Structure 1
Amino acid sequence: MPQLAILRQPPEPIHADLVNRDEKTDLALLPTRVSGRVTNGSEPGTFQHQWPGVYAEARFRGGAVTVRFDDAINRARITIDGGAGGVVEVSRPGSADLRISGLAPVPHNIRMDKISESFSLASFGGFFVASDGDALPPPDARPKLIEFIGDSDTVGYGGRAQRRDCSADQVFAATDSTQTFVSRVAAHFQADYRIIARSGIKLMRHDGDAEPQMVERYARALPDEADSTPAPEPAADIIVIALGPNDVVSNAPTHLVGRDRRRLSFEYQHALVDFVRAREGRNPQALFVLLAFSEYGNDLIDAHRAAEKALREGGARITLVVLPWRDRRGCHWHSSPRDHATTADRLIAAIAAAERDQAQ
């Protein structure tokens, strides 16, 4: 069932309601800036999405705004004026308009964040202002763009839970892509971000795998549709790759020891090198950051170290961050808020050091 909550009220309270889609002609579409991997919809201002972490931003002048959804599977957070003008969260709104009123009749910024993970297609229908308001140009892009490529840890799977044993509904409620190391790192560098991540995904397809993995899904606007083409998107300044646990550890049966595990590590190392080189062609100035999780063991760390060495010798701008053992108190042993803070701190330090070296 659709749900709506006003999470933060400004000094003068706002009102929010989910209503049937409004086809009135006095609603004007706001120009919108979108960050994240999407494909353009059939109507102006609309887009379809399946990857996590997508967000859209616009500006308007007026006392009310309408946000249009065609989405029965996700949670979204609407933030006005960075939160000072109010924060509204909707869950599985379906084909509906979110009307927010009671705003001061002055210029406002509005942002929609998709905060859940979905394995089905959904659509965003844009922002609208009534005839007594004014559409303003959207916010400018931020100085940097950081792309994060990963699995469930990058998505933020179940990270806000206070337990490891979670139901599907608890995972849904505890997953929030805006409360992860991704958002912390991006905020520190005043950057936009693009998340290409999926829970359970591997970098490469292994023997017996029927499903395509990141090597195949990466270029898709919609990860489950092979022929989907992303809307035009800028090159990234920094690319963080946090893959490998599902290749080297989770994929390996417990009886695989010694030579067999080393083989998986070797295969992953070479696939990672090829994957980074493919991304270099699209992002020629990017700094690449490889993220390795200590709790998954030396096979994974050794593969990352070997890949970093090969790529550095090949001329790539690259650095490796090996994370310390973390508590993993989120759902199903996933990263907790504390873990995300630790990861962000390590990434911020590594990126800052690499940028200082580049400037010298």
Structure 2
Amino acid sequence: MQSSIEAKHYFSRELLAWYNLYKRDLPWRRHRNPYYIWVSEIMLQQTRVDTVIPYFHRFIDRFPTIEALADAPEEDVLKSWEGLGYYSRARNLQSAAREVKEQYGGEVPATKKEISGLKGVGPYTAGAVLSIAYNQPEPAVDGNVMRVLSRYFLIEEDIMKGSTRAFMEGLVVELIPEGEASNFNQALMELGALVCTPKSPQCLTCPVMAHCAGRIAGMEESLPVKTKAKPPRPEYRSVAIIEGTGANAGKVIVRQRPAEGLLARMWELPHILAPQQAALAGADDPVQMDMLRGAMHEEGIAMVPDDFVMEADHIFSHIHWHLRVYRCASKLPDNTSLPESYRYIEEKDMDELAFPNVFIRILRAYFKEILIT
């Protein structure tokens, strides 16, 4: 592990010089508004910058202040977040905004203790907001930063261990030049995102290449050391597109998920968990279709699966959904009220209701076919 004073000074000096010349013009970098920076950091977790930019603009246009976000209906917040995934981030952000409004007069706290006490704000987010918005010498250590530090300082400890993260946080504090916390932490993130990438790092264009111990040792592509995460468990699900009849012709039945748990309060097509052996059967397996019919009947919705439509999948951090989608005929009389949490929708209603990405894809494909025919 390299950690000489000379190597540290070189790293900080050259990295800042490079950042000042080549930093990207990102919307949240055009100001020091801590609320905007906080929103951007939550959005950027597990999401690419190019994907986040249009969402950031729409979100800030819709909720320009902490108070606007705190006072908004949760459904509006989820709809504005639709497509970014990890919806607990949006819920936690709104809960924290309400805390900021009630406890801090709408001003994002500027102390580590206070900001770390907000819902959904972990060490990285706290450090990012404090350093970028308030220029405080706090570390903001994410995957990009750990990769850069592992390579430059030849750190071979597993970055999934808390002790390694703690060591790197201390190292960043040592590296931050006085008065440059905001630019330095952003420069670290920028280097990891653009140059010191996970695969095929662009060493020849790296501003700190000369003293990079990982490159000198020929280990730039094998670092960082990271324990492989457990793969998400597979789940096989049968999905029903239940077509309305009579006055509800051209509409389909959707339902809202429970208030707690995975994808809480979001809308979806009705679906059931199928046995894993269903993966070995064909899409037209009558057992799967009969299970779907029976489950919907128990929910108070009489229907009959007609035919297989498509397959889709969706990967969560811990679950991998394998979906088989069936077009189904409703057997409900026109004047029958749907069970609580169910409703009919047509395509335009999707502009108001928040759906997980996989159901957006399925519904868009379905409505497109209907409109063409």
TM-score range, shorter chain: under 0.3
Give TM-score, length-normalised by structure 2.
0.26
Give TM-score, length-normalised by structure 1.
0.27
Q: Kindly indicate whether structure 1 or structure 2 has the higher relative contact order, using CA contacts under 8 Å at least 6 residues apart.
A: 1
Greater helix share, structure number: 2
